[in-house]
A = this chain, B = another copy of it.
Amino acid sequence: MSQPAELCEEGRLALIRDVLERIGDKWSVVVICQLDDTTRRFNELSRMSSPITKRMLSATLQGLERDGLVTRTVYDTKPPRVDYALTPRGISLLKVVRELAGWAEANAAGILESRSGYDAR
């Protein structure tokens, strides 16, 4: 098995930071979650992610495409149509995000409690 070993080894920390910069921005996770297992069009994503602007959606999708997490398929039809979907790599990331979500749900209450305790000092 892989040994947990040196978690703080320099290179490893750099890798983690890389992933966090990828999914740590404001919209990447939202978009990834909404792509989930289907393909979606640009404006569809725009509507689903409610207060996101086209500008941010576009930038987010470009970043995800650059890292090979989503595919962008352009159909040269009368009104242009562009489909986005998760790649296998994107799907594997989504699994990790689900773990994160699980942790978040399990600990949200405790964290909020801890915060209010801390703030009231």
Contact = CB atoms under 8 A, between A and B. Distances in A.
Given A110-B89, A114-B67, A115-B66, A29 B13 contact: yes
Contact of A8 (B2, B34, B66, B114): B34
Interface residues of A, number: 50
A26 B67 CA distance: 20
Contacts of A101: 7, 12, 15-16
Contacts of A19: 100, 103-104
Q: State the oligomeric state as a number of copies.
A: 2
Q: Is the interface of A mostly helix, strand, loop or mixed?
A: helix
B115 A67 contact: yes
A15 B96 contact: no
Interface of A: 2, 4, 7-8, 12-13, 15-21, 23-24, 26, 29-30, 33-34, 36, 48, 65-68, 89, 92-94, 96-108, 110-111, 113-115, 118-119
